[in-house]
Homo-oligomer: A and B are copies of this chain.
Amino acid sequence: MVEGRKPHFPSETASKGRPRGSAQMSGSNAQFAAFQQAVTALCDAARLSLADAEQLRPLRDRHETFAAGALVQPPQRKDRLRLITSGWLYEARLLPDGRRQIFGYLLPGDLVTGRHGARTTRSALFALTRVDTTELTAALAAAPGAGRTSLSEGLARALEQQEHRGYGALVRLGQYTAQERMAHLIIELRDRLARVGQASRTSFRAPLTQEHLADTLGLSLIHVNRVLRQLRNENLLTIKFGMVTLLQPEKLELLAAGAAGR
């Protein structure tokens, strides 16, 4: 388990059962389901009741979609929030000599804010896949004049939680060994994806290349590959065709907690 509270995994093979690419569910139905899951995850993170979730539904007005690989312009005004309903983003800084540090990923259920890709962070947001977002209207983010609603407070909590992931990343880079870093990232992604029903306890799919992993974990591409081989040989983890499989989730969780003895 990484940051935050422990998720529970409903059915062992939540996302494995239904084939993803060849799905036949009608487009808008699938979209609606995606939106619902994103809202559910958001409310979970925000510790909001379902009643509050109701208020979020009508706000699904301004959609925006980004193509895979696109540079994403975050909302200008900081009282605007965009909810990711599907797809992955990453935030990164590029150094003059070509090095790249990926600060983190934004997944369905996460909020894109003006803080992302700001000039002060010298970072930019990129779409890792096709990404669908929905704008949540301004009134929600900032306490509207008179009082702060439970909704706005919840959103603030969710945002805070998102931002606090940076602390985990800092520990990962500063203190963890290569194996631990990998385990930590995998567990983080699994837990976050589980909140939107896109991961079971033991597997999920991730649109990441080993180069992304390298630039996230502060390792060389080649070493990432070796670490993955080690984990595979130790029967802890496999990644094949973008499908991540945790063979021994408990051991990985221990590694990720930095509690495996060093």
Chain A interfacial positions (CB closer than 8 Å to B) = 3-4, 93, 95-97, 99-101, 103, 115, 118, 120-123, 142-143, 145-146, 160-161, 163-164, 166-167, 169-171, 173-175, 215-218, 257-259, 261-262
| Bound Cα distance A127, B89 (Å) | 38
Q: Beyond A99-B175, A166-B166, list 15 extra A-B contacts (CB 8 Å).
A: A95-B171, A95-B258, A95-B259, A99-B262, A101-B170, A101-B174, A101-B175, A118-B164, A120-B161, A120-B164, A121-B167, A166-B167, A173-B173, A173-B174, A174-B217
Q: Given the known A-B contacts A97-B259, A258-B99, A261-B97, are A122 and B167 also in contact in the complex, defined by CB atoms under 8 Å? A: yes
How many copies of the polypeptide does the oligomer hold? 2
| Bound Cα distance A167, B123 (Å) | 9
Give chain B nearest CB distance to A129 CB in angstroms.
23
Contact: A96 with B170, CB < 8 Å? Answer: no
| Bound Cα distance A143, B143 (Å) | 9
Q: Given the complex, which residues of B lie within 8 Å of A169, measured CB to CB?
A: 170
Give chain B nearest CB distance to A109 CB in angstroms.
17
Give chain B nearest CB distance to A214 CB in angstroms.
10
| Bound Cα distance A3, B120 (Å) | 7
Query: In chain B, what residue has the closest Cβ to A96?
Result: B259
Contact: B103 with A170, CB < 8 Å? Answer: yes
Q: Which of B118, B121, B143, B171 contacts A93 (CB 8 A)?
A: B171
Give chain B nearest CB distance to A178 CB in angstroms.
13
| Bound Cα distance A120, B3 (Å) | 7
Q: List 11 A-B contacts (CB under 8 A).
A: A3-B120, A95-B171, A95-B175, A97-B259, A99-B175, A103-B167, A121-B164, A170-B170, A174-B216, A174-B217, A174-B218
Give chain B nearest CB distance to A70 CB in angstroms.
22
Q: Given the known A-B contacts A3-B120, A166-B166, A258-B97, are A173 and B103 also in contact in the complex, defined by CB atoms under 8 Å? A: no
